[in-house]
Amino acid sequence: MAETIIFSNGRFFNDTITPSTSDSVMAVKDGKIVFIGTSTSSTWKTFLATESSSIKSQDLKGQYVLPGFIDGHMHFLMLGQSLHKVDLTGCENLAEIRSRISKYAAENPGVKRVLCMGWMHSMTDGEAKAGMLDDLGSRPIYIDSKDLHSVWCNSAALEEMGIHDMEVPAGGIIERDASGRASGLLSEACVLLIVWPYLAKVLPMEEKMAALRAAIKAYHQAGCTGFIDMAMDENAWEAILALREAEGGKLSIRIAAHWCILPGSGESDRLLQVDRAIELQQQFNSTTSPDLRILGIKVICDGVVDACTAALAKPYTSNPSASTDPIWTAEMLSPVVKKASEANLQCALHAIGDAAVHNAINALEEHGKPNQRHRIEHLELTSPADAARLGTLNITASIQPVHSDPAILRAWPKLLGPERLKRAFAYKEFADHGAVLAIGSDSPTAPHAPLQNLYVAMTRKSARQPEKSDNPVNEEFRLGVGQAISAATKGAAFSCFDEGRVGTLDVGMEADFVIVDWSGEAGELLGARVRATWFKGEKVYEL
């Protein structure tokens, strides 16, 4: 006989933070929420009178119960792999980077490659040469930039990939020295087309599956019960399917994904990639595979501000010679969005700079159809007019507040100038114009924990370095407490067509929820703790 679990004396979130606890109650049975309300109501008394299964009770002692967080934008396999990489986050200069790598190399003499993450261009004054790393050992060294748009390599890594004699792929950058040899930094399409495929080939399946398991565990600890992978490819998909088979045909987290479309060799190549996404979506969808789905396509329209590769309407203030062109021109983007929309695939367009955002909105306006819920990822710099168009066109604003942390924006005033900086991360403006917000982390480019992400969304202050007391970034664009939590739960669920199952605490919904020890105040989120995570009515994590 199925057991009914009753959770009482909690603060149950449903768009607002409620102060009431003593008479609040939620009942869970067969993996679903079967009651939520007050213990003094007639409906609760009727529920108890008719409930025939055994009952187990849990006193929440005033803790908050939120819907399970759904990371609206992340990279599954890369997150799992990053948990075992040398983390360079917080390094101030080259000496600190070298010190951390040297320490890891000495402690791990058996690893074939030294894989690192978290480097920012500002840590080394924009320099990323192989010679800055070569004396640290003979093993290949790969350093992912924090935004995952560049990889800094030592000479051994360049040699084993055969970079020196390679042609630069469309949309890619290989930095070279005066003699024409690769000097150490690979960016944009080179990461997608050269580095990641090479490492995918040389890393064993067992290691990839272990990485995926580590990512799921990390998400459970952080209160996440689902996520949307935003750059799915054959390598990661193969590993996920292998893990699901090894786990008996089911995973303890809900996965939706967008297939990454690369610039390729031309339009026909790009459209063939869309064909592959169509094929997979027909196999893995909400009917055939509701907890492991392909939603549509992902296109990386431009780069990032810090590397001066984001597409801007006007030149970079401190680097006017840097190209402001997008990776995907409007002419490249249009046929891909058209074909995907005609196949009823959801388009997710990475657009950070204001020029890329403008192109992305234009493409979705031209080719999108009603109720397809197309989305734009990041939206870090937008014009007022384009911010308003998101809501008008029913485009989901997929945002990552953790990227607006003041601690990682120290180069932005110089790169963009004070006036453009005022338009950065205009989240509240998107919502005010009617756009649905879906909050994600973009992990592992940023920390995956939702509570810290929500802290930045609500305060625009730093979760990374709160002790430095940086001024909030464009405080007028901060989100309210209920607004931010909804964007990380209901909004993220809506963005992947799953709002009928998850994202809210309502009768009939899947029992995906998280118990949080928190005061309910935005400023106290950094001290909040996830006490337990429940997935389909089963506890998958407890502190």
Note the pLDDT tens digit of each residue in 368-404. Answer: 999 999 999 999 999 999 999 999 999 999 999 999 9
Residue 522, SS3 per DSSP: helix
Sign of the alpha-carbon dihedral angle for 444, 379, 309, 350: positive
Average pLDDT for 461-469: 93
* d(C-alpha 34, C-alpha 12), whole Å: 14
* d(C-alpha 42, C-alpha 153), whole Å: 66
Query: Looking at the domain 3-62, which fold is it?
Result: Urease, subunit C; domain 1 (2.30.40)
pLDDT at residue 401, rounded to an integer: 98
* d(C-alpha 276, C-alpha 450), whole Å: 32
Give bridge partners of residue 71 from the DSSP assignment: 227
Average pLDDT for 28-41: 94
The side-by-side arrangement of strands in the sheet containing 254-261 is 69-74, 224-232, 254-261, 292-300, 346-351, 375-378, 396-399, 437-439
Average pLDDT for 288-303: 97
At residue 196, does pLDDT exceed 90?
Answer: no
pLDDT at residue 19, rounded to an integer: 65
Phi, psi angle pair for 298, to nearest 5°: -125, 130
The pTM for the full model equals 0.90
At residue 61, does pLDDT exceed 90?
Answer: yes
Secondary-structure percent of the chain, ordered helix, strand, coil, rounded to 5 = 40, 25, 40
- Over residues 325-380, the pLDDT tens digits come to 999 999 999 999 999 999 999 999 999 999 999 999 999 999 999 999 999 999 99
- Over residues 509-528, the pLDDT tens digits come to 999 999 999 999 999 999 99
SS (H, E, C) 353-407: CHHHHHHHHHHHHHHCCCCCCCEEEECCECCHHHHHHHHHCCCEEEECHHHHCHH
Residue type, position 146, single letter:
K
At residue 52, does pLDDT exceed 80?
Answer: no
For residue 221 the two structure tokens come to 């600890």
CA geometry: angle 454, 455, 456, nearest 5 deg: 90
Average pLDDT for 79-95: 92
Average pLDDT for 41-64: 90
Phi, psi angle pair for 313, to nearest 5°: -70, -25
CA neighbours closer than 13 Å in the CB half-sphere of residue 223: 25
Domain positions in the chain: 3-62, 82-202
* d(C-alpha 304, C-alpha 285), whole Å: 32
At residue 162, does pLDDT exceed 90?
Answer: yes
At residue 1, does pLDDT exceed 60?
Answer: no
* d(C-alpha 70, C-alpha 88), whole Å: 27
Give bridge partners of residue 407 from the DSSP assignment: none
Average pLDDT for 408-425: 96
Assigned CATH for 82-202: 3.10.310.70
406, 300, 284, 391: which is closest to 347 by C-alpha? 300
pLDDT at residue 423, rounded to an integer: 98
Average pLDDT for 446-450: 94
Average pLDDT for 233-250: 96
